[in-house]
Structure 1
Amino acid sequence: MRAEGRVRFLRVSPRQQKLATGLAICLAGWGLAATVTAVVSPVIISEQQTEINKRDQAYVSLLNEIDQYYDQYTNILGGLEDNQSMLQDILSGQAEGVNLADIQARLNRSEGDHAKVVVARDALENKLASFESSLRQIAEQNVTLETQVTSMKSVLDSTKAEREEVVKARETLLGQLTETQERLTREKLTKQKLQANLEDISEDVVIGDAERQALIEKRFSLEAEIAALETRQRGAETRQTQLEQIIINLQESLDDSRDMRAQLSRERDELKLQVVSLEETLSAYEQRQLDLVAKLTERTLSSIGDIEKAVAMTGVEVDKLLNRVNDAPEGELGMGGPFVPLVGPELDQDNSFQTALALLDLHLRRWEGLRTIATALPLTPPMDSYELNSNYGPRKDPKNGKRAQHYGIDLGAPTGTPVFAPAPGKVVKAGWFGNYGRYIEIDHGFGVTTRYAHLKRIEVKRGETIDFRQPIGAVGSSGRSTGPHLHYEIRIDGNPLNPDNFLEAGRHVFKG
Structure 2
Amino acid sequence: MRREQRRSLKNRLVDLKNWLFPERQIHLRTAGRVSFIRITQRAQISFVVIFLLAGGWMTYASVAYMRNNAVVAGKDILISNSRQAYRVLLGQVSEYQKKFTSLTTDMEDSHDLMMGLVEKNFLLRKSLTTVARKLDVTRTQREQFASARESLKEKLSAIEIKVRDMLKQNFSLTDNLSTAEADLQKALAERNKSIYEGTRMHRRIKGLETRLTDIEKVEEDSIQRLTDSTTTYIETLEKVVRVAGLNIKHLLKDYQPLANGQGGPFIAATLEKNLPGKQLKDQLSNLDIHLGRWEALQTVMRKIPLSAPLNNFSITSSFGKRRDPINKRWAAHYGLDLGGPFKSSVYSPAPGVVSYTGWNGKYGKLIEINHGAGLKTRYGHLHKILVKKGQKIKFRQRIGLLGSTGRSTGAHLHYEVVFRGKAKNPMKFIKAGQNVFQK
With the length of structure 2 as denominator, give the TM-score of the two structures.
0.51
Q: Give 3-state SS (helix, strand or coil) of 1:449's partner.
A: strand
1:219-275 C-alpha deviation (Å, 9 max, x unpaired): xxx9xx9x9999778756654565456445544432332221111111111121122
Question: 1:288 & 1:403 partners in 2: Cα distance?
Answer: 65
Query: What is the one-letter code of the residue matched to 1:392?
Result: S
Q: Does residue 381 of the first structure (1) align with residue 311 of the second (2)?
A: no
Question: 1:336 & 1:245 partners in 2: Cα distance?
Answer: 72
Q: Does residue 360 of the first structure (1) align with residue 290 of the second (2)?
A: no
Structure 1 equivalent of residue 218 of structure 2: 288
Question: 1:409 & 1:246 partners in 2: Cα distance?
Answer: 108
Report the Cα offset of residue 352 of structure 1: 4.3
**Residue identity (%):** 34
Name the larger-Rg structure. Answer: 2
2:188 pairs with one of 236, 250, 258: 258
Query: What is the one-letter code of the residue matched to 2:343?
Result: T
C-alpha spacing 1:412/1:247, structure 2 compared with 1 (3 Å)? farther
Question: 1:471 & 1:334 partners in 2: Cα distance?
Answer: 32
Structure 1 equivalent of residue 316 of structure 2: 390
C-alpha spacing 1:450/1:233, structure 2 compared with 1 (3 Å)? closer
Q: For residues 253-332 of structure 1, what are the structure 2 equivalents within 5 Å?
A: 253-318=183-248, 322-323=249-250, 325-326=252-253, 328=254
Q: For residues 161-200 of structure 1, what are the structure 2 equivalents within 5 Å?
A: none
RMSD, aligned CA? 4.1
Structure richer in strand, relative to its length: 2
Report the Cα offset of residue 312 of structure 1: 1.8
Report the Cα offset of residue 276 of structure 1: 1.5
C-alpha spacing 1:233/1:511, structure 2 compared with 1 (3 Å)? same
Report the Cα offset of residue 398 of structure 1: 5.6
Structure 1 equivalent of residue 415 of structure 2: 488
Question: 2:400 & 2:325 partners in 1: Cα distance?
Answer: 24
Question: 2:359 & 2:352 partners in 1: Cα distance?
Answer: 20
1:320-368 C-alpha deviation (Å, 9 max, x unpaired): xx24524x2xxxx49689x899xxxxxx997544544444344334433
Structure 2 equivalent of residue 509 of structure 1: 436
Q: Which runs of 5+ in 1 are unaligned?
A: 1-221, 342-347
C-alpha spacing 1:241/1:449, structure 2 compared with 1 (3 Å)? same
Report the Cα offset of residue 380 of structure 1: 2.2
Structure richer in helix, relative to its length: 1
Question: 2:161 & 2:236 partners in 1: Cα distance?
Answer: 96
Report the Cα offset of residue 510 of structure 1: 3.6
Q: Does residue 412 of the first structure (1) align with residue 340 of the second (2)?
A: yes
- Does the CA contact (< 8 Å) of 2:315 and 2:336 recur in 1? no
Question: 1:375 & 1:243 partners in 2: Cα distance?
Answer: 87
- Does the CA contact (< 8 Å) of 1:325 and 1:369 recur in 2? yes
C-alpha spacing 1:246/1:392, structure 2 compared with 1 (3 Å)? farther
What is the count of residue pairs matched by the alignment? 273
Query: What is the one-letter code of the residue matched to 2:312?
Result: Y
Q: Give 3-state SS (helix, strand or coil) of 1:454's partner.
A: strand
Q: Does residue 457 of the first structure (1) align with residue 387 of the second (2)?
A: no
- Does the CA contact (< 8 Å) of 1:389 and 1:412 recur in 2? no
Q: Which runs of 5+ in 2 are unaligned?
A: 1-152, 263-270
Q: Give 3-state SS (helix, strand or coil) of 2:290's partner.
A: helix
Query: What is the one-letter code of the residue matched to 1:368?
Result: E
Query: What is the one-letter code of the residue matched to 1:409?
Result: D
Q: Which moved more, 1:424-433 or 1:356-365?
A: 356-365
Query: What is the one-letter code of the residue matched to 2:303?
Result: A
Structure 1 equivalent of residue 405 of structure 2: 478
1:71-92 C-alpha deviation (Å, 9 max, x unpaired): xxxxxxxxxxxxxxxxxxxxxx
With the length of structure 1 as denominator, give the TM-score of the two structures.
0.44
C-alpha spacing 1:511/1:234, structure 2 compared with 1 (3 Å)? same
Report the Cα offset of residue 478 of structure 1: 2.7
C-alpha spacing 1:376/1:237, structure 2 compared with 1 (3 Å)? same
Structure 1 equivalent of residue 144 of structure 2: none
Query: What is the one-letter code of the residue matched to 1:256?
Result: K
Report the Cα offset of residue 315 of structure 1: 2.0
Query: What is the one-letter code of the residue matched to 2:400?
Result: G
Structure 2 equivalent of residue 423 of structure 1: 350
Q: Does residue 500 of the first structure (1) align with residue 430 of the second (2)?
A: no
Q: For residues 240-259 of structure 1, what are the structure 2 equivalents within 5 Å?
A: 242-243=172-173, 246-247=176-177, 250-259=180-189
Query: What is the one-letter code of the residue matched to 2:338?
Result: D
- Does the CA contact (< 8 Å) of 1:422 and 1:469 recur in 2? yes
Question: 2:177 & 2:398 partners in 1: Cα distance?
Answer: 93
Report the Cα offset of residue 286 of structure 1: 2.4
- Does the CA contact (< 8 Å) of 1:325 and 1:372 recur in 2? no
1:111-161 C-alpha deviation (Å, 9 max, x unpaired): xxxxxxxxxxxxxxxxxxxxxxxxxxxxxxxxxxxxxxxxxxxxxxxxxxx
Q: Give 3-state SS (helix, strand or coil) of 1:376's partner.
A: coil
- Does the CA contact (< 8 Å) of 2:257 and 2:292 recur in 1? no
C-alpha spacing 1:456/1:245, structure 2 compared with 1 (3 Å)? farther
- Does the CA contact (< 8 Å) of 1:432 and 1:439 recur in 2? yes
